[in-house]
Amino acid sequence: MPIQLTVAVLLILSAIGYWIGRQRAMSVSGGRVASLHSVPNYYGSFVAVWAGIPALLLVLFFLMLKGPVIEMLVLGAMSPDAVLSWAKASISPNDFQALSTAGIAGADALAETQRNLMMINIRNLATGQERFVNPAVVDALLPAAQHMQHLEATSRWSLFAICMAIAAGALFITHRKITPQFRARNNVERVVTWGLIVCSVIAILTTVGIVLSLLFESMRFFARVSPVEFLFGLQWSPQTAIRADQVGASGAFGAIPLFTGTLLIATVAMAVALPLGLLSAIYLSEYAPRRVRDTVKPVLEILAGIPTVVYGFFAILTVAPFVRDMGVALGLPVSSNSALAAGIVMGIMIVPFVSSLSDDVINAVPQSLRDGSYGLGATRSETIRQVILPAALPGIVGAFLLAVSRAIGETMIVVMAAGMAANLTFNPLDAVTTVTVQIAALLTGDQEFESAKTLSAFALGFVLFFATLALNVVALRVVQKYREKYD
């Protein structure tokens, strides 16, 4: 019984419910529709909503929990022999030695990584993808795989049965509730309002999801690597040993070089974006004739609409070679993926962001201050520099912080144009790597789950999330204070 079918049947039942509810309402009204509290459609909707939604929610709930629960059951039921014979063929001899001498009671004895590997084998067997499974372990895992198949089938049938029962029960009860006095519309509207609330709560759920997932994975990382080493260590080389007996690859997780690399590139980006963005905003809002403003502004906005992957390509294709050639011409050693090139391109990307924020801020300075300054015989530039900019300073600081937050969170440009080597340097001509580059590098391509290397990406994500969050909160507060001042 595939889940899709259950959902389809529920939808059909719900549609039938609509029709039944309408009919029922018509008949209890005795042909005088006006005697009903609500129009008949609402009685239909009332039945349809209750026949469909509770059961559909159950399906959703089932889908979310089915996987983990079935895995737990399958693993729990596995015999120690099966686990051991799988381990013999799958894990390193040393590990196996340790495992077998300890004398195990079941799958719990395996390390988390190993257990997940075994689970993948079982799942492949159960879904008929035997070709991905080492033939040596098929026999040992077959019972577990069959158990899994059995559980899958049972769970789906029970889900179907329960859903049908719920839907039928709801149909029956709601059908009986329909009388001319029954307030179907209020009932339906209450349900809809709750639906709206649930939709708005998704924003909170997303934040909670982000925080929790980053927190949990980071905790697992910090169980392996101390937070002190991570936050203050100067050496970053996340290549951990694949086998414990391997030499010289213990991995180092000092993230300072990543933080400095991120800041270096962000600094270059801001050094490009702030003057360009601020001066364009000033020119457009204080000097440019209306026609110029109306054409130039949208053109600048195009820069904001270009996907970052395009900027990344532009950086490696044009800007990085140019920067390197300039370096060669000046006799400076420039890395082919220098922080300077990545930073310049990132700066260009941020220009429209800075310029539109500054534009808002500058326009919020009241005209009376400009008049006061012009009335004293100041020129435009004197007014801008000595009255408008100081008055707009808090707003500009806020815009600056928002732009910095965007620069440190930007990924594609640096993934493509910045380096991979974690150099601890402040020379923009060198290659540096950033937090986002490392996250992307650690989590793309082949990855070992559960290794410190993979988990470190989440710890970096955690730092990134809270750094940008802090910047945004501070920036928004500064901007808001500023707005209030001139409202």
Which is closer to other proteins, CB of 153 or CB of 201? 201
Closest CA relative to residue 353, chosen from 289, 274, 290, 464: 274
Which is closer to other proteins, CB of 139 or CB of 371? 371
Residue 250 Cβ, how far from other proteins at the closest point, in Å?
Answer: 25
Q: How far apart are CA 303 and CA 296, in angstroms?
A: 11
Q: How far apart are the first and last CA of the chain?
A: 63
Residue 342 Cβ, how far from other proteins at the closest point, in Å?
Answer: 14
Q: Which long-range contacts (CB under 8 A, 24 or more apart) does 83-90 make?
A: 83/107, 83/109, 83/110, 83/118, 85/137, 85/139, 85/140, 86/118, 86/121, 86/137, 86/140, 86/141, 87/114, 89/134, 89/136, 89/137, 89/140, 90/114, 90/117, 90/118, 90/121, 90/134, 90/137
Please, which residues have CB within 8 angstroms of residue 450's CB and are 6 or more apart in sequence? 112, 113, 116, 220
Contact range with other proteins by CB under 8 A, out of 129-137, 254-262, 422-430, 469-477: 469-477
Whether 462 and 218 have beta carbons less than 8 Å apart is answered as: yes
Q: Residue 101 interacts with other proteins (CB under 8 A)?
A: no
Residue 246 Cβ, how far from other proteins at the closest point, in Å?
Answer: 26
Identify the helix (H) or strand (E) that includes residue 371: helix 367-375
Whether 388 and 351 have beta carbons less than 8 Å apart is answered as: no
Q: Which residues of 269-293 are buried (b: 16+ CB within 10 A; e: fewer)?
A: bbebbbebbbebbbebbeebeeeee
Residue 114 Cβ, how far from other proteins at the closest point, in Å?
Answer: 16
Q: Residue 479 interacts with other proteins (CB under 8 A)?
A: no
Contact range with other proteins by CB under 8 A, out of 13-21, 46-54, 99-107, 468-476: 468-476
Q: How far apart are CA 279 and CA 229, in angstroms?
A: 43
Q: Which of 436, 451, 453, 478 binds other proteins (CB under 8 A)?
A: 436
Q: Residue 195 interacts with other proteins (CB under 8 A)?
A: yes
Q: How many residues bind other proteins (CB under 8 A)?
A: 107
Q: Which of 201, 219, 326, 420 binds other proteins (CB under 8 A)?
A: 201
Q: Residue 321 interacts with other proteins (CB under 8 A)?
A: no
Residue 186 Cβ, how far from other proteins at the closest point, in Å?
Answer: 8
Which tokens go with 223?
A: 């169980």
CA gyration radius, the chain: 32
Which is closer to other proteins, CB of 347 or CB of 428? 347
Closest CA relative to residue 118, chosen from 97, 140, 102, 103: 140
Applying the rule CB under 8 A, the residues between 132 and 161 that interact with other proteins are none
Which is closer to other proteins, CB of 96 or CB of 374? 374
Which is closer to other proteins, CB of 83 or CB of 415? 415
Applying the rule CB under 8 A, the residues between 339 and 398 that interact with other proteins are 348, 351-352, 355, 366, 368-382, 384-387, 390-391
Contact range with other proteins by CB under 8 A, out of 158-166, 168-176, 326-334, 453-461: 453-461
Identify the helix (H) or strand (E) that includes residue 253: strand 252-253
Length of the chain: 487
Q: Residue 206 interacts with other proteins (CB under 8 A)?
A: yes
Tell me the three state secondary structure of residue 236.
strand
Contact range with other proteins by CB under 8 A, out of 82-90, 157-165, 168-176, 191-199: 191-199
Contact range with other proteins by CB under 8 A, out of 94-102, 139-147, 148-156, 306-314: 306-314
Whether 347 and 272 have beta carbons less than 8 Å apart is answered as: yes
Q: Residue 34 interacts with other proteins (CB under 8 A)?
A: no
Residue 376 Cβ, how far from other proteins at the closest point, in Å?
Answer: 4
Residue 159 Cβ, how far from other proteins at the closest point, in Å?
Answer: 16
Applying the rule CB under 8 A, the residues between 57 and 96 that interact with other proteins are 63-64, 67-68
User: How many CA atoms lie less than 13 Å away from 59 in the CB half-sphere?
Assistant: 22
Contact range with other proteins by CB under 8 A, out of 46-54, 87-95, 356-364, 410-418: 410-418
- How far from 397 is each of 123, 130, 132, 476, CA to CA, in Å? 54, 60, 56, 10
Q: Which of 76, 80, 227, 307 binds other proteins (CB under 8 A)?
A: 307
Q: Residue 453 interacts with other proteins (CB under 8 A)?
A: no
Applying the rule CB under 8 A, the residues between 262 and 291 that interact with other proteins are 275-280, 282-284, 287, 289-290
Which is closer to other proteins, CB of 246 or CB of 363? 363
Residue 351 Cβ, how far from other proteins at the closest point, in Å?
Answer: 5
252-253 and 236-237 as β-strands: parallel, antiparallel, unpaired?
Answer: antiparallel
